Amino acid sequence: MTKDVLRVETILTTTEDVLRRHGLAKATVLDVARALGVSHGSVYRHFPSKAALRGAVTRRWLTRARAVLATIAASDDPAPERLSRWLTAAFESKRAKALDDPELFETYRTLAVEHTDVVEEHVTELLAQLRAIVEAGLASGDFAPTPPDVAARAVFDAVARFQHPLLASEWARPGIGAEFDGVLGLVVRGLLAR
Amino acid sequence: MTKDVLRVETILTTTEDVLRRHGLAKATVLDVARALGVSHGSVYRHFPSKAALRGAVTRRWLTRARAVLATIAASDDPAPERLSRWLTAAFESKRAKALDDPELFETYRTLAVEHTDVVEEHVTELLAQLRAIVEAGLASGDFAPTPPDVAARAVFDAVARFQHPLLASEWARPGIGAEFDGVLGLVVRGLLAR
DNA sequence: TGACTGACAGAATCCAGATTCTGTCAGTCA
DNA sequence: TGACTGACAGAATCTGGATTCTGTCAGTCA
């Protein structure tokens, strides 16, 4: 808020705040405008619709969530370890969010379902990170020859149970950690050169 | 209907019929009783509650769905092929149901969510079938040594994206077949002895 | 001059009264 | 005698009139 002019970033931050405080249903454009101390017409100056505003918030949330994983993907650990760390971090951070603040997680889950296009971008980015790890493993000879994009997709799909927000309700079950380890082991063994 | 007395099987069949015709919301105990030509009090003579009736219908549906898979699990194909056939059949039959009659599938999906206990029985049974295949593979030396129950669970979890009813909406996407093949290959390679 | 306001129409959502359903049980009837 | 009925209370669901929201735009004001 360095300037008095209403800025896109300010609107997004305030919207996140309203979402956190009051939940999805009560986060109307009017509410956001009230929280900003402006009329709702002003919000429409920066976003063409309520859907666009929500989409932008969703995109920002997913981009932040991806940052940690990008660091791991770009590390120079051996590919099998790097893959394990990446998949574990992806699961653990999502799981922590879902368990720490279920209502906020549910809010963003609903937003994600509403904005399929934004989620698709996110998935594409995640797949690119996975492909980079697979390519490193192919180059080092750790992984058996395979088309990297197909392998990345297969790994991503295989951990869907521990990634897909629709299945989040099962992440609180006691045995879930062991189950994740089981799939992780299976997946890594499936990639390794023999 | 060999006898005039109201029988449990008759009630279940009629309930399925009402569900198919009118959907979940309109399938009240009163509706089922009307379809049977009896008073709703008679239905309560055989089922203690509406939930119990719905649970019984769900159980019957899942039991039927499992029968095909049981045949494959008990076949004497080599374990890797048998596993592929089992997983493919599990995916294809569910996918066919979801695409052929989306409304009926949605009905049973909701029922499954309502009756977690019944679904758990079902999953336990499926895991037992998978474990039998894994054990065959261990005995033949096709699969690398591993605790069969852990491996069965890992395989089951890895194909969640192609099995979990909550993700059914994605089974209509064009690339889904290739994605399934990718995971199937990864999983089988993960089990194979080296 | 251009960021912002607020009145407005049509769409979406809310709420309270009316209807329907669940589960029980005393009573019927074959 | 026991399978079945139907009236009943309380819970759940529906409905349509009242309220709130979305998206637009002519007008204000700094």
Per-residue pLDDT for A71 more than 70?
Answer: yes
pLDDT of res. B4:
58
Per-residue pLDDT for B3 more than 90?
Answer: no
Per-residue pLDDT for A1 more than 60?
Answer: no
How close A117 gets to chain B, by Cα (Å)?
14
Separation of alpha carbons A42 and A6, rounded Å = 8
A147 touches chain B (CB under 8 A): no
List of A residues 1-40 with CB within 7 A of strand C: 4-6, 25, 38-40
Using alpha carbons, select from B84, B163, B81 the residue that is nearest to residue A157.
B163
The dihedral sign for the CA sequence B88, B89, B92, B98? negative
Give the mean pLDDT of A55-69: 97
**What do you get for the CA distance between the two ends of chain B, in Å?**
58
With a CB cutoff of 8 Å and minimum separation 6, the contacts of B78 are B140, B142
Nearest to A190 among B151, B179, B187 (CB): B187
Per-residue pLDDT for A6 more than 80?
Answer: no
> Cα Rg for chain A, rounded, in angstroms?
20
Nearest to B187 among A160, A166, A186 (CB): A186
What is the nearest nucleotide to A32, using C1' and CA?
D21
Could you say which of 1.10.357.10, 3.40.250.10, 3.40.50.300, 1.10.3470.10 is the CATH number of the domain covering B58-191? 1.10.357.10
**Distance in angstroms: CA A45, C1' C6:** 15
Q: Identify the weakest region by mean pLDDT among A6-15, A150-159, B1-10.
A: B1-10
CB B160 within 8 A of CB A167: yes
Using alpha carbons, select from A170, A134, A163, A168 the residue that is nearest to residue A150.
A134
A50 touches chain B (CB under 8 A): no
- Confirm whether any atom of chain C, the nucleic acid strand, is less than 7 Å from CB of B29: yes
B185 touches chain A (CB under 8 A): yes
Using alpha carbons, select from A131, A136, A133 the residue that is nearest to residue A148.
A131
Give the mean pLDDT of B55-80: 97
- The nucleotides of chain C lying under 7 Å from a protein CB are 3-7, 13-14, 20-26
Which chain A residues touch B151 with a CB distance below 8 Å? 182, 186
Give the mean pLDDT of A143-150: 98
Query: Best mutation site among B119, B131, B153, B186 for testing chain A: the one with the most A CBs within 10 Å?
Result: B186
Per-residue pLDDT for A34 more than 80?
Answer: yes
pLDDT of res. A5:
67
Per-residue pLDDT for B91 more than 90?
Answer: yes
| Paired tokens of A23 | 């939940």
Task: Tell me the average pLDDT of chain B.
Answer: 96
Q: How many angstroms separate the Cα of A139 from the Cα of each of A136, B27, B128? A: 5, 59, 39
Which chain A residues touch B153 with a CB distance below 8 Å? 179, 182
- Indicate the domain borders of chain A: 8-46, 57-191
How close A124 gets to chain B, by Cα (Å)?
14
| Paired tokens of B51 | 């939930």
- CB half-sphere exposure, B172, CA atoms < 13 A: 8
Q: Is B153 in contact with A186 (Cβ distance < 8 A)?
A: no
SS3 A26: coil
| Paired tokens of A161 | 């149970």
Q: A192 - beta bridge partners?
A: A143
Nearest to B194 among A151, A187, A194 (CB): A194
CB B91 within 8 A of CB B162: yes
Separation of alpha carbons A41 and A43, rounded Å = 5
In the structure, what pLDDT confidence band is assigned to residue A4 with cuts at 50, 70 and 90? low
DSSP collapsed to 3 states, A87-117: HHHHHHHHHHHHHHCHHHHHHHHHHHHHCHH
Q: Which fold has domain A57-191?
A: Tetracycline Repressor; domain 2 (1.10.357)
- Confirm whether any atom of chain C, the nucleic acid strand, is less than 7 Å from CB of B38: no
pLDDT of res. B1:
37
Per-residue pLDDT for A125 more than 60?
Answer: yes
Per-residue pLDDT for B38 more than 80?
Answer: yes
Per-residue pLDDT for B106 more than 60?
Answer: yes
Q: Can you give the length of chain A in residues?
A: 194
pLDDT of res. B73:
98
How close B115 gets to chain A, by Cα (Å)?
15
The percentage of chain B sitting over the pLDDT mark of 90, rounded to a whole number, equals 96
**Distance in angstroms: CA B66, C1' C15:** 46
Could you say which of 2.60.120, 1.10.10, 1.20.50, 1.10.3470 is the CATH number of the domain covering B8-46? 1.10.10
In the structure, what pLDDT confidence band is assigned to residue A194 with cuts at 50, 70 and 90? confident
Per-residue pLDDT for A3 more than 50?
Answer: no
pLDDT tens profile B136-158? 999 999 999 999 999 999 999 99
pLDDT of res. A154:
98
Distance, C-alpha A101 to centroid of its chain: 16
Separation of alpha carbons B147 and B145, rounded Å = 7
Per-residue pLDDT for A2 more than 60?
Answer: no
Alpha-carbon dihedral angle through residues A71, A73, A79, A84, given to the nearest 10 degrees? 80
Give the mean pLDDT of B69-80: 98
Tell me, yes or no, if the two domains B8-46 and B58-191 fold the same way.
Answer: no
Using alpha carbons, select from A46, A40, A2, A3 the residue that is nearest to residue A18.
A40
What single DSSP character describes residue A165? Answer: G
The percentage of chain A sitting over the pLDDT mark of 90, rounded to a whole number, equals 96
Which chain A residues touch B194 with a CB distance below 8 Å? 194
Give the mean pLDDT of B158-179: 97
CB B191 within 8 A of CB A183: no
- The residue whose two tokens read 């990008």 is A70
A48 burial via Cβ count (<10 Å: 0-12, 13-18, 19+):
exposed
pLDDT tens profile A73-99? 999 999 999 999 999 999 999 999 999
Q: How many angstroms separate the Cα of B121 from the Cα of each of A15, A46, A50, A102, B87? A: 44, 53, 44, 28, 19
